[in-house]
Amino acid sequence: MNNIFKYLFVLLSFIAKTLSYGQSSALLSSDIPFKLSLNKLEQHQNFETQILIKDLQFNNKYFAEIAFENDTTIKRSTLYLLDDGFIHLYSIDKEKGLQLNKMQPDPTYTLSVKVKTINYTGKALPLISEIDTAKKDTSYVPPFEEYYKLDDYTGKIGCPFPIKEDELAEVKRIVIAENLEDSKLEKAKINIQEMDSACVLVEQTQQIMLIFEYEETKLDFAKFMYQYTFDLENYKILSEVFNFENSMEELLLFIKEED
């Protein structure tokens, strides 16, 4: 009988550890009160300046939409969870969106009593309507007679037809196969250059960038890919891949100079 109880105890302990594994949290702070949705799901009812979101999966990303108080602006960004058991400290900027400042182990971080705490469940109501309140440039005419129609995108186009998913998968496979960071970067560039008509969506470039380990490599590749980009006005999204603010600022400055 004692053996049975010991077995049940070990089994329950294992289940508890399994269920808790991979959980991280994010603390979002802003000077302007905001509302947040993750993956198109509302996270809270009232405007807040600080929100702690718990029970998020680490090594994962969430599509974030941020609405500001007394403003029609809706900022779309990506929330990254990079390490297990850590609290990810993000600041919110109306122009740049979410910016990861640092990470700390959860138990050592002291929270203010004013922080709104949310347990992420993946169940809620849509916070932001599908109507995009951003101003559209209706005078722009694409320089191609035929070109790919990207949903909800009416901005500048740098090339007519983005690569297909199988072509993207092949680029990623070649890059992953290399052990050294410099070799990964070189192989990625060569593979793009050797395509007949290289044309890549910003989201596809982002997927390749996430394979690289170092900030400088990601930044180098991001600058290189601008000339092969379809949805040029989405390029600022790539700043979300970086962990350090100086990398984000350097990419945004590069984009401004290229425009």
Residue 80 sits in a domain whose CATH number is: 2.60.40
Pick from 63, 74, 62, 61: nearest CA to 35: 74
pLDDT more than 90, % of the chain: 41
- Provide the number of structural domains found in the chain: 2
Does residue 252 sit within a domain? Answer: yes
Task: State the residue range of the domain holding 186.
Answer: 165-258
Does residue 42 sit within a domain? Answer: yes
Q: How far is it, in rounded angstroms, from Cα 71 to Cα 255? A: 26
Domain termination site, one of 81, 104, 119 = 119
pLDDT at 237 over 70: yes
Do 112 and 193 sit in the same domain of this protein? no
Do 248 and 179 sit in the same domain of this protein? yes
Does residue 172 sit within a domain? Answer: yes
Does residue 145 sit within a domain? Answer: no
Ranges of beta strands (E only) in 69-220 are 74-81, 86-93, 97-105, 116-119
Q: How far is it, in rounded angstroms, from Cα 26 to Cα 89? A: 6
- To the nearest 10 degrees (0 to 180), the angle between helices 215-225 and 202-209 is 150
Q: How far is it, in rounded angstroms, from Cα 49 to Cα 4? A: 51
What pLDDT shows up at residue 165?
A: 92
Does residue 175 sit within a domain? Answer: yes
What pLDDT shows up at residue 199?
A: 96
What SS3 class is residue 142? coil
Do 110 and 173 sit in the same domain of this protein? no
Domain termination site, one of 119, 134, 151 = 119
Query: pLDDT tens-digit profile of 50-96?
Result: 999 888 886 678 888 898 988 887 888 888 887 777 888 899 988 88
Do 103 and 185 sit in the same domain of this protein? no
Do 173 and 230 sit in the same domain of this protein? yes
Query: pLDDT tens-digit profile of 135-187?
Result: 444 578 888 989 999 988 989 999 999 999 999 999 999 999 999 999 999 99
Do 169 and 113 sit in the same domain of this protein? no
Cα 186 → chain centroid: 24
What pLDDT shows up at residue 138?
A: 56
Q: Residue 209 corresponds to which tokens in the numbers above? A: 């960038």
Do 113 and 191 sit in the same domain of this protein? no
Do 36 and 110 sit in the same domain of this protein? yes
Does residue 142 sit within a domain? Answer: no
Domain termination site, one of 119, 144, 173 = 119
On average, the pLDDT of the chain sits at 82
pTM: 0.50
Does residue 156 sit within a domain? Answer: no
Does residue 239 sit within a domain? Answer: yes
pLDDT more than 70, % of the chain: 81
